[in-house]
Amino acid sequence: MQYILNEDEYQSLVNAKLARALYAEKKLQELCTRVCDSSPSKESDRAWGCMLSAAKLGNVWTCDQCPVIDYCPEEKKQWTEP
């Protein structure tokens, strides 16, 4: 069965799909940040800490050994210089 949609109906479907995708990405970022902020670092007993959380505090942290690096949707990751 096929449906013929007018432009407004089509645009509302596209917007709803985009809104769901943005919400899912936002939730994934929140979860990744929470995991990173609570996972212990390999160098010390303190939590590793997400660079996004550090930026809110005025600090600079990197993503080099982040435990969720493969899942984190952040596009502007920070790396230490080689």
As to burial, measured by CB atoms within 10 angstroms (0-12 exposed, 13-18 middle, 19+ buried), residue 76 is exposed
Question: For the chain, which residues make up each domain, given as ranges?
Answer: 1-82
**pLDDT tens digit string along 12-71?**
999 999 999 999 999 999 999 999 888 877 776 667 788 888 877 777 788 888 888 889
Q: In this structure, which amino acid lies at residue 77? A: K
Give me the pLDDT at residue 29, please. Answer: 92
CA dihedral 22, 23, 24, 25 (to 10 degrees): 50
Query: What pTM does this model have?
Result: 0.70
What is the dihedral angle through the alpha carbons of 55, 61, 64, 69, rounded to the nearest 10 degrees?
-30
Q: Environment class of residue 1 by beta-carbon count within 10 Å: exposed (0-12), middle (13-18) or buried (19+)?
A: exposed
